[in-house]
Structure 1
Amino acid sequence: MTITEDQDARSDAPATPRQRRAARIAEAAGGGWGLILLKIVVLGLILALAVYAALVLIRMDQWVPAVLVVAAALLAVWIYSGRGRLPAKYLMPGLVFLFVFQVFAALYTGYVAFTNYGTGHNSTKESAVNALMLSAQERVPDSPEYELTILDQLGELSFLVTDPDGEVLIGGEDRPLEEVDDAEMRGGKAVALDGYTTLEFADIVANQERISEMAVPLSDDPNDGALRTPDGSIAYVYTSTLVYDEAAGTMTDTRTGVVYSDIGTGAFTAEDGTELKPGWQIVVGFDNFTRAFAEESIRGPFLSVLVWTFAFALLSVLTCFALGLFLAIVFNDPRMKSKKYYRVLMILPYAFPGFLSALVWAGMMNQEFGFLNVVLFGGADIPWLTNEWLAKASIILVNLWLGFPYMFLICTGALQSIPEDVQEAARVDGASAWQVFRSIKLPLLLVAVAPLLISSFAFNFNNFSLIYMLTGGGPRDVTAGVNVGATDILITMVYKVAFVGSSADYGLASAFSIIIFILVATISVLAFRRTKALEDLN
């Protein structure tokens, strides 16, 4: 028998169980048609979402993000549609989330820190002009009536109007009126248009508030006025008492004659300093950082909060580490009985969510009906959370309750890893228990826990939930130029500046965020360099 005949004979032989099993495994690994179909559906959804997001961004004149979204989607399709490229298939999701939630967030925060973005300065100059003109609109006396039909297209409402001369026009809040020729007419009134849905009377009633607030510009010039409707069937011309001169960059109030000019501060400003709001977003350079350190109403509270933030972070780490180490030493003693039960009790505070524990403590420390005042102190009126210094002490106490179990666990593990023969040799040489702890246990312990102490410091430096849930940052400092309280740390102050109150200053809050990042990064780098000296102990 030749070699070829032998190979043909073996190929015709029935497959062994091992071969059949290997074939099934290979087929399962390949995924089969089911997995291929699932992959096609998922990649199609990714492309569809990317195209939709790109269209939305293009409508907002955000061309660069739109291109990036489409490029990322195409890259994902290329990576996952073919065989091979295994490392890229694992890296792609992580890189996308890293860019969206870390890199982009950090870059955008850095950008906002150099702008005046905030309440009254959150849009473009064009949007601000339109908002100002709309806010000062009044109906023109003897305004002609425009027959009106309300149209809907993908959730966006439009005015289909028939002017007194019979001309048919269509427009929206951001689209000036333009002439149309193919509208469906009924009794001399345009009632429908291809591509749009005509709202019936019930729909108009359901959206009455939204329709009454609409103002459709007559032309690209905001001074020409806009059409508004009180009932959804007839529209009237409204003009603004403000006149905008684009060439001169001024806004004139026709009622008072006051001229407001664009002086580069992101708002139309009169000679006496009065500003028209809303303004618009502009780049202000380092003004936000200058305000943080130069304006007395901001610098004073900021420095006070900065000092308390450092004190809070240091005291939290030291107290939690000291109590955790003490308990670890006690329960690590071989003479201690029932250690496992005590250890379970010690870690119970660590098992509950921190924000819930903070809320429970806030209730127990209530000045009027809290458990501490009513039960433990016999109805005393102790302002645990409303007095500045008592509130700070209460925060340290609650954080000690929440933080010591973590340090207890870490120190227990570190102590148990120290070789017993080293300690025994020291005792043989005549060292006391204190000398063994100070010269052997503590240095070897710090080798293991020093990085954790640094990370704990960084965590407490930004321990938002404890401060916010326990005291809300109060008691409030009414003399400060920003919304800040006696127990606020930097991160809660940033939150209040950005989101709490009637006026939000995202630019200043972003500047504070960058300052926090620089402080924490600098301290962490210096601390990690210092801990290298402990490595020689190994």
Structure 2
Amino acid sequence: MAGRHTAAEAETTEGGRPIERKVGSTSHARSWSPGFFVKLVLMAGVNALGVYVLFSAFTASSWIVFGGMLGLLLAADYVYFSKRTLALKYLIPGLAFLLVFQIFVIAYTGYVAFTNYGDRHMLTKDDATNTLLLRSVERVPDSPQYPLVVIESGDELGFAIIDDGVVRAGTMDQPLEEVEDAVVVENTITDVPGYDLVNLSQLGNRQNEVTELKVPLTENPEDGAIGTQTGASGFVFQTTMHYDEDQDALISDKTGKTYVANPDTGFYQADDGETLDTGWRVNVGFDNFKKAFADDRYASPFLKVLVWTFAFAFLSVATTFLLGMFLALVMNDERMRGRKVYRTFMLLPYAFPAFMTAFLFAGMMNPRYGFINQVLLGGAEVPWLTDPTLAKVSVILVNLWMGFPYMFLICTGALQSIPADLNEAAELDGASGFKVWRYITMPQLLTQVTPLLISSFAFNFNNFNLIYMLTNGGPRFADASVPVGHTDILISMVYQISGLSGQAAKNYGLASAMSILIFLIVGAISMYSFRRSRAMEGAN
């Protein structure tokens, strides 16, 4: 049997001592095994996605995104092709997602909170300047006429023209460039690679958008732009303003009026106070935070919504926990028959999508046609969702229906983990059922479920889906100048103020500042509650 090896091969040093080397222990990073090729293909896909993000960030001059993505990509390649980073191979996917979807989002929200980002301040200063130059245009007299078609790239409109037999295409943000392989039939453009042609029926619905569109001829807006009134012929339009770099101002060529850039407001402003309508993002310090507490438009509804948010979150946790615990205690009694069937029915509300449940109850609570009023209450017209008090009660009741199965589950698990000997010993000592529950079952139960109650409080503090689908925050405050209502919680108020609902001007800076406040409130409550829960656990 000499010279035969099974699990290891024997080698000797100069001193004659054997060295054992395990066969088949070579890492994929240095072998040509099938696993290595699978890893190679997967990492090729990751690198392809990373290069695409890098290219997009470079094109948009987003250097923070570019640097972060480059670092992630290099780290992933090193970790998965190195023999020395076994533990990191399991950690880096989670760390990458944490960085992209948590840390970056929080950091960017914090950045926006200190800016005036919103309506009229969506652009950078250079983009705002170019936009103002393109909007202040007039048709050049006797300018040449170009055959034109309206094109579309995504949701962005543009023009394609025939210029000396060459097809050139562009959008408001992309100057006209020559397009190869474009198809022209009888002096009419029929196909533009990379774009979709907008037909005549679509032009009718977007006529204003088309006539207001101006596509720059070159990178310099002062060289002019192409515009149209008919959607079939293009003309050269020339800007009536020019940018003076020495003054950092836009000057009207028709009136001579000078609009100087104001770094505090992010507007071009004249001496008489007139401002041009398009501005840019600037840092405003703590103005957004001050506005939330000092501006009457936001301070009054903010305080009302804050109080209701705490009440809603606390009542939601209390009601769902008490009902879930009661049902768990009942179902945990071995004398009860058919417990498995009942437990299954208890979980049905939890299995149904939450947003659909809220939407369904919104229909059932309709004051005139809803199932509750028409069938259960015999045709009564109870204003479940339009009366401020009843609307809040309705929100709590619907959330109770949606949330008690979760509490039922965790309480059932916690009850089954409590040693039966404790209850039996207490009963032998003559303790009543209520005392057993009060002094043994309840403390043991709270020790195990308190962290989940804290997470449930944080969830309900930001339970946007329920509010949006059930009441949309209504009914509205009668004395508020912003679209906020009696059942709005902080997160839905932020949604309304941000302008995403379409009921108010966009104000991402103020919405981000309020989001930071929500984060701090929930974080502080969670930290305090976890400390209290650890103290209670130690006492038990």
Q: Is the 8 A contact 2:27 2:83 kept in 1?
A: no
Q: Is the 8 A contact 2:309 2:490 kept in 1?
A: yes
1:206 to 181, 189, 197: 197
Structure 1 equivalent of residue 348 of structure 2? 348
| CA distance in structure 1 between the aligned counterparts of 2:42 and 2:356, rounded to whole angstroms | 39
SS in 2 for 1:202: strand
Cα shift at 1:150: 9.3
**1:284 CA displacement:** 0.9
The 5 Å alignment of 1:301-312 reads 301-312=301-312
- CA distance, structure 1, for counterparts of residue 34 and residue 527 of structure 2: 51
What is aligned with 1:418?
418
Cα distance per residue 1:363-388 (max 9 Å; x no partner): 11111111100001111111111111
Q: Does 1:500 align with 2:484?
A: no
Asked if structure 2 preserves the Cα contact closer than 8 Å seen for 1:162 and 1:169, the reply is: no
Instruction: Write out aligned runs for 1:161-240 (5 A).
Output: 161=163, 196-200=180-184, 201-203=189-191, 206-207=197-198, 213-217=213-217, 220=220, 222-228=221-227, 236-240=235-239
**Which residue pairs with 1:520 in the alignment?**
522
- Distance in 1, matches of 2:374 and 2:247, equals 69
Identity of aligned residues (%): 48
The within-5 A match list for 1:467-506 is 467-477=467-477, 479-498=479-498, 499-501=500-502, 503-506=505-508
Residue 211 of structure 1 and its aligned partner are, at CA, apart by: 8.7
Matched residues in 2 for 1:247 and 1:29: separation? 59
User: Counterparts of 2:116 and 2:408 in 1: how far apart (Å)?
Assistant: 46
2:532 to 525, 530, 533: 530
1:241·1:253 contact (CA, 8 Å) conserved in 2? Answer: yes
- Residues 27, 240 of structure 1: CA spacing in aligned structure 2 closer, same or farther, 3 A cutoff? closer
User: In structure 2, how many angstroms separate the alpha carbons of the residues matched to 1:171 and 1:352?
Assistant: 48
Deviation at 1:217, TM superposition (A): 4.3
Q: CA deviation at 1:440?
A: 2.5
AA matched with 2:60: M
Q: Cα RMSD over matched residues?
A: 3.8
More displaced, 68-77 or 127-136? 68-77
Distance 1:65 1:207 in 2: 34
Question: Per the alignment, do residues 199 and 302 of structure 1 end up closer, same or farther by CA in structure 2, a change over 3 Å counting?
Answer: farther
Q: Tell me what 2:72 maps to.
A: 72
Question: How far off is 1:69 after superposition?
Answer: 2.4
Partner of 1:124: 124
Residue 114 (structure 1) shift: 0.7
For the 8 Å contact 1:161–1:170, the answer to whether it is kept is: no
Residue 407 of structure 1 is matched in structure 2 by: 407
* Gaps in structure 1 of 5+ consecutive residues: 13-21, 179-192
* SS of the residue 1:116 aligns to: coil
Q: Name the structure where helix makes up a greater proportion of residues.
A: 1
Contact kept? 2:324, 2:406, Cα under 8 Å: yes
Report the Cα offset of residue 100 of structure 1: 0.8
Per the TM alignment, residue 257 of structure 1 is displaced from its structure 2 partner at its CA by 7.2
The separation in 2 between residues aligned to 1:514 and 1:496, in whole angstroms, is 16
Counterpart Cα distance in 2 of 1:413 and 1:39? 40
Q: Cα distance, 1:97 vs. partner?
A: 1.2
Residues 117, 509 of structure 2: 8 Å contact kept: yes
Q: Which residue is equivalent to 2:300?
A: 300
**Residue number in structure 1 paired with 2:247:** 248
Match of 1:388 in 2: 388
Distance (Å, rounded) in 1 between the aligned partners of 2:289 and 2:382: 39
Distance 1:463 1:511 in 2: 19
Q: Deviations over 1:122-153 (max 9, x none)?
A: 1111111222222232212233x27679999x
CA–CA separation in structure 2 for the residues paired with 1:335 and 1:384: 40
User: Deviation of residue 227 (structure 1)?
Assistant: 3.8
Aligned partners of 1:111, 1:233: CA distance in 2, in Å? 45
Q: Distance in 1 between matches of 2:380 and 2:299?
A: 37
CA distance in 1, matches of 2:449, 2:294: 40
CA distance in 1, matches of 2:175, 2:338: 81
Distance in structure 1 (CA, Å) of the matches to 2:524 and 2:5: 70
User: Which one-letter code corresponds to 1:410 in the other structure?
Assistant: I
CA contact 1:358–1:398 (8 Å) conserved in 2 = yes
1:166-203 CA distances to partner (integer Å, 9 max, x unpaired)? Answer: xx99997557789xxxxxxxxxxxxxx6x834452212
Equivalence for 2:9: none
Moved more, 206-215 or 349-358: 206-215
TM-score, length of structure 2 as denominator length: 0.81
Q: Secondary structure at the match of 1:473?
A: coil
Q: Which amino acid aligns with 2:501?
A: V
SS at match of 1:477: coil
Q: CA deviation at 1:53?
A: 2.7
Cα distance in 2 for partners of 1:60, 1:228 equals 26
Instruction: State the structure with more CA Rg.
Output: 1
- Of residues 222-231 and 403-412 in structure 1, the stretch that sits farther from structure 2 once superposed is 222-231
Q: After superposition, what is the alpha-carbon deviation per residue over 1:20-61, rounded to whole angstroms, capped at 9, x for unaligned? A: xx9899999998554444444443343343333323222222
2:134/2:214 contact within 8 Å kept: no
Shift of 1:525: 0.9
State the secondary structure of the residue aligned to 1:416.
Answer: helix
- The 2-side partners of 1:329 and 1:438 are apart by 13
CA shift for structure 1 position 161? 4.5
Mark the CA change 1:91 to 1:157 in structure 2 (over 3 Å): closer, same or farther: farther
Q: What is the CA–CA distance in structure 2 between the aligned matches of 1:467 and 1:40, rounded to whole Å? A: 47
- Residue pair 1:159, 1:171 contacting (<8 A) in 2 also: no
Q: Are the equivalent residues in 1 in contact too, given 2:175–2:215 (CA < 8 A)?
A: no
Q: 1:380 to 1:236 in 2, by over 3 A?
A: same
Query: 2:168, 2:428 → 1: CA distance?
Result: 101
- Report the Cα offset of residue 102 of structure 1: 0.9
Q: 1:64 to 1:533 in 2, by over 3 A?
A: closer
Letter of the structure 2 residue corresponding to residue 524 of structure 1: S
1:246-299: CA deviations, max 9, x gaps? 433444566777654433201234566554322111111111101101101100
Whole-angstrom distance in 2 between the partners of 1:171 and 1:421: 79
Are positions 1:133 and 2:124 aligned together? Answer: no
Comparing 251-260 and 458-467, the one that deviates more: 251-260
- Structure 1 residues 415 and 219, CA gap change in structure 2 (3 angstroms): closer
Q: Which moved more, 1:255-264 or 1:353-362?
A: 255-264
Mean Cα deviation higher: 401-410 or 382-391: 401-410
1:185 counterpart residue number? none
Structure 1 position 509 matched with structure 2 position 511: yes
Aligned 8 A contact 2:320 2:403 in 1: yes
Which residue of structure 2 lines up, in the alignment, with residue 262 of structure 1? 261
Q: Show the counterpart of 2:14.
A: none
Taking a change above 3 Å as real, the CA distance of residues 30 and 48 of structure 1, as seen in their structure-2 partners, is closer
In the superposition, relative to structure 1, how do residues 46 and 404 fare at CA in structure 2: closer, same or farther (>3 Å)? closer
Residue of structure 2 in register with 1:448 after alignment:
448
Identify which range, 107-116 or 351-360, moves more after superposition: 351-360
Shift in Å, 1:460: 0.7
* 437 and 269 in structure 1: CA distance in 2 versus 1, 3 angstrom threshold: same
Amino acid at match of 1:413: G
Measured in 2, the distance between the counterparts of 1:453 and 1:171 equals: 56
Cα deviation, 1:288-342, whole Å, max 9, x if unaligned, reads 1011011011001111111000000001111111112222233333443333332
